[in-house]
């Protein structure tokens, strides 16, 4: 009879894996998103000062999108290593890459100091951020998900909550330095959130170094069943699941980065509201999102992954126009509510089940590559360009946001159709685990 793990030891292992995944993701997405906040409130003036305000904002958002162009490059490179060497070493590598590149952004001279070298170096460092971020969330979700023998939707949602924690911390950091006098904020205050990355990098590395490799990868490794080129195997063996998984992320990517990045600029420059109103709205939305993500993940364990994603996509379809109606009132409470519904309900209902769902859609030997390919190819198509597209649409319609609402509605419709056509994995995965457990007794 094969020895069955002690329940306490198993819970400790799962808890440690979830903690390592969540904390590391929080640190990495603090790093990745802190640029997004800076792009909306300050970088356009320091790195593109010769442009008019609208063109400077577009240029700053364009560099924001560079990170997404490099996310699939870094994601697939590191995911290939993750399917061959293991989830744990890759998550340590990505954490290092992200922390170093973010700190260096905080040390960059501005356009006024070194001219065109400033935006050029900013692009390079943003690309490094993108490469680190590309494999982070997929690997972290796999780390949590593959350690969890049950309640996978709940446990795999915690790295997603870590993402919200990271975004929340970046917003709080910029809210704090925004209270400085304008000249101090522009001179050095904006650098503080970037330089703070180095302070927490050591904590993340310590936590991730203590977690064990996932049982699913160990099983693949012991069987000598690794794919030679995992991403090629995914495209060859699971093209339908790959395309449907990509489509299932369109709305969460689009809504997420329109609300989290573009609306920070829209509320301040288009509506003329104080910068603190937009930042506070985003802080409230992400704080609520930290609670809603595990709730939606747990719901996916009850009703299925597809049902939760489809419900979120339907909400996104219906909310696309009311989002801007609420914002355009200029009422502070309605602005806060619009941000909160957009993130904590709309985005997170589609985002929370993805960790478990994409884990279950792909075979363990190519799971990291499948997960990352689906998310990151969608990210480069939708998430990265979303703030730039929204800004361009707003300019096209002379400041009327109806075109952005149509854009968000179309993305929601794509996700709704993709999730409808995709297979449900919850019951199949539970049956497989029960069969394996019976075989081990």
pLDDT tens track for 324-356: 999 999 999 999 999 999 999 999 999 999 999
Share of the chain above pLDDT 90, in %: 35
Task: Quote the pLDDT of residue 429.
Answer: 54
More confident: 97 or 2: 97
Sketch out the chain's domains with CATH numbers: 10-430 (1.20.1250.20)
Please name the residue that has the structure tokens 């609670």: 291
Please write the tens of the pLDDT for every residue from 205-257.
Answer: 888 888 888 888 888 888 887 888 888 999 998 899 999 999 999 999 999 98
Q: How far apart are CA 420 and CA 415, in angstroms?
A: 8
Q: How far apart are CA 273 and CA 269, in angstroms?
A: 8
Task: Quote the pLDDT of residue 441.
Answer: 39
Q: Is 439 a residue whose pLDDT tops 80? A: no
Alpha-carbon distances, residue 80 vs 230, 328, 329, 372, 428 (angstroms) = 6, 46, 48, 10, 26
Q: Is 50 a residue whose pLDDT tops 70? A: no
Task: Quote the pLDDT of residue 4.
Answer: 47
Tokens of 83: 């399917």
Confidence of residue 2 (pLDDT cuts 50, 70, 90): very low
pTM: 0.83
CA atoms within 13 A on the CB side of 94: 36
Please name the residue that has the structure tokens 């909160």: 340
Least confident residue range of 61-75, 352-366, 386-400: 61-75
Share of the chain above pLDDT 70, in %: 90
Tokens of 380: 């480069």
Average pLDDT value for residue range 27-35: 84
Q: How far apart are CA 142 and CA 54, in angstroms?
A: 40
Q: How far apart are CA 134 and CA 111, in angstroms?
A: 28
8 Å CB contact between 426 and 300: yes
Torsion of CA 196, 335, 307, 314, to 10 degrees: -130
Task: Quote the pLDDT of residue 142.
Answer: 87
Please write the tens of the pLDDT for every residue from 262-306.
Answer: 998 899 889 989 888 988 998 899 899 999 999 999 999 999 999
Give the distance from CA 221 to its chain's centroid.
29
Neighbours of 375 (CB within 10 A): 27
In the chain, what's the furthest Cα-to-Cα distance?
Answer: 74
Give the closest residue to 195 by CA, choosing from 216, 218, 177, 213: 177
Please write the tens of the pLDDT for every residue from 162-191.
Answer: 888 888 888 888 888 888 888 888 888 889
Please count the residues of the chain: 441
Q: How far apart are CA 265 and CA 358, in angstroms?
A: 33
Average pLDDT, the chain: 86
Task: Quote the pLDDT of residue 432.
Answer: 52
- Give the orientation angle of helix 275-303 with respect to helix 354-361, to 10 degrees: 50
Please write the tens of the pLDDT for every residue from 111-160.
Answer: 778 887 888 888 888 888 888 888 888 888 888 888 877 788 899 999 98
């Amino acid at each position: 009879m094969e020895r069955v793990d002690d329940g306490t030891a198993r819970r400790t292992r799962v808890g440690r894996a979830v903690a390592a995944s969540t904390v590391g993701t929080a640190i990495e997405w603090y790093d990745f998103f802190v640029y997004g906040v800076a792009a909306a409130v300050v970088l356009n003036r320091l790195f593109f000062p010769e442009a008019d305000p609208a063109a400077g904002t577009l240029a700053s958002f364009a560099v924001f999108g560079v990170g997404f162009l490099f996310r699939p490059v870094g994601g697939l490179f590191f995911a290939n290593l993750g399917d061959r060497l293991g989830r744990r070493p890759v998550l340590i590598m990505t954490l290092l890459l992200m922390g170093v590149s973010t700190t260096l952004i905080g040390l960059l001279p501005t356009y006024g100091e070194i001219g065109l070298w400033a935006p050029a170096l900013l692009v390079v460092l943003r690309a490094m951020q993108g490469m680190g971020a590309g494999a982070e969330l997929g690997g972290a979700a796999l780390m949590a998900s593959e350690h969890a023998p049950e309640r996978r939707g709940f446990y795999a949602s915690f790295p997603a909550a870590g993402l919200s924690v990271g975004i929340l911390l970046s917003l709080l950091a910029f809210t704090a330095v925004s209270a400085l006098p304008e000249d101090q904020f522009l001179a050095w205050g904006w650098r503080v959130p970037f330089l703070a990355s180095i302070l927490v990098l050591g904590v993340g590395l310590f936590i991730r170094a203590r977690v064990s490799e996932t049982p699913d990868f160990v099983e693949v490794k012991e069987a000598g069943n690794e794919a030679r080129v995992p991403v090629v195997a995914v495209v060859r063996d699971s093209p339908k699941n790959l395309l449907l998984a990509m489509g299932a992320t369109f709305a969460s990517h689009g809504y997420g980065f329109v609300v989290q990045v573009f609306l920070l600029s829209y509320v301040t420059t288009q509506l003329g509201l104080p910068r603190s109103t937009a930042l506070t709205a985003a802080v409230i939305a992400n704080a609520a999102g930290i609670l809603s993500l595990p709730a939606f993940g747990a719901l996916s364990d009850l009703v299925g992954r597809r049902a939760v994603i489809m419900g979120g996509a339907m909400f996104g379809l219906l909310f696309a126009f009311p989002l801007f109606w609420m914002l355009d009132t200029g009422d502070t409470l309605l602005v806060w509510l619009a941000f909160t519904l957009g993130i904590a309900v709309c985005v997170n209902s589609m985002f929370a089940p993805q960790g478990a769902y994409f884990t279950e859609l792909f075979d363990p030997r190519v799971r990291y590559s499948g997960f990352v390919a689906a998310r990151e190819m969608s990210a480069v198509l939708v998430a990265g360009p979303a703030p730039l597209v929204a800004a361009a649409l707003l300019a096209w319609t002379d400041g009327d946001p109806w075109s952005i609402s149509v854009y968000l509605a179309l993305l929601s419709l794509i996700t709704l159709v993709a999730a409808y056509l995709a297979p449900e994995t919850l019951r199949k995965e539970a049956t497989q685990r029960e069969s394996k457990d019976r075989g081990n007794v």
